[in-house]
Chains A and B, each alone.
Chain A
């Protein structure tokens, strides 16, 4: 016992240097991936505050399990897997169903100055109205840059299902785009 404690003292510098490495890895991970992860979380729950909480919880868990992450290239899908699990836990804790939201509650407080902003705002509304099963693969593809196979493995679906959902997601958005040109116009006034 005593030997063990004394032994620990000798390896303190080694431990702290490996802690420093872990810290560096963690900070790099945060800087590189927090934005993508936040956006993914946002489109999952469509609320900024909840998305922020999800990302915080995800990175906390990531820190604790950081040693198990061997391949830095897999970091993004690893984090997304953690976040999805966290999100599922949120539903276990309180059972309010987000898909009950008829009206998308997107609060873009920024003044819409340019054409681009108006278009973004309009598209965001449409995206948030997509069924979740279509929206999630779309976000993973467009923001995450994941391939069909990767999305399939992240969501535990087969690839054909994923491709069909991606097709339907874009199809519905295109339809909406073509149906409501006059709605977009009202923002111009």
Chain B
């Protein structure tokens, strides 16, 4: 190994343990001296490179990490809270949707279902103590007014007609009560003028401000009812 190459190797790495370097050092005292010089210089170099480290640095780094992960925990709690809130909102929306979306395709189907559902509560023998005044009070929300009694009124109150706030009137019929639904205008239903199933008949009539559906059993002359309604109800502008 020539001298220049030896010096280059030692300068590049004074701790070099290559076999040929060790041999060269052993064979030549001047190379041994050079190696010692450079290694001594490297010790000085190490001392110089070891600049003083701030005393409390390790503590600072640990503290910084503790604060930082605490901060992240707080963020996580917030995320959980936000998640819970959005789940609650979604649940609320789903319930609302289930409750207020129409489950019936046609108005006929719903009118029959509604009538059948409440049939147990009304009979022809019930008291007919609903006055015209209280009926008209309720009718104001539908911009209508009864000028006269349509028949013997057993019951008159608001109800949800497939999710839409409507007025449900129950009159004494020939054999069983007659149901009249007054439904505000909406684009939810498609009306058919008359409809029936094996037990009930129904008729619908559309007015300017509301639609009126009459449901009664087979013995009831529904067309007559509709004509009477047309004659007694005035719709305000």
B38 part of interface (Cβ distance < 8 Å):
yes
| Count of inter-chain pairs, beta carbons less than 8 A | 98
Q: In the bound complex, do residue A170 and residue B38 qualify as a contact, i.e. CB atoms below 8 Å apart?
A: yes
Q: How far is the CA of A92 from the CA of B163 in the complex (A)?
A: 62
A123 adjacent to B44 (CB under 8 Å): yes
Asked if B95 is at the interface (CB within 8 A of a chain A CB), the reply is no
Given the interface pairs A60-B64, A167-B8, the reply to whether A141 lies near B48 with Cβ below 8 Å is: no
> Is A83 part of the contact surface with B, judged by Cβ < 8 Å?
no
Interface status of A127 (Cβ within 8 A of chain B) = yes
CB distance from B1 to the nearest CB of A (A): 15
What's the dominant secondary structure at chain B's contact region? helix
Taking a contact as CB atoms under 8 Å apart, the answer to whether B12 and A59 are in contact is no
8 Å CB contact of A166 from B12, B50, B57, B62 = B12
Q: Please report the C-alpha to C-alpha distance between residue A39 and residue B47 in the assembled complex, in whole angstroms.
A: 11
With contacts A38-B57, A56-B60, A170-B41 taken as known, whether A143 is within 8 angstroms of B52 at the C-beta atoms is no
Which residues from B are CB-within-8-Å of A123? 44-45, 47-48
A120 to B46, CA, bound (A): 9
A93 at the interface (CB under 8 A from B): no
Contact with B along A143-187 (1 / 0, CB 8 A): 100001000000000000001101100110110010000000000
16 A-B contacts (beta carbon < 8 Å)? A27-B62, A31-B58, A38-B51, A38-B57, A39-B50, A52-B54, A56-B61, A59-B61, A60-B64, A60-B65, A63-B69, A120-B47, A143-B46, A166-B13, A167-B12, A177-B41
Residues of A within 8 A of B (CB): 1, 26-27, 30-31, 34-35, 38-39, 42-43, 48, 52, 55-56, 59-60, 63, 110, 116, 119-120, 123-124, 127, 138-139, 141-143, 148, 163-164, 166-167, 170-171, 173-174, 177
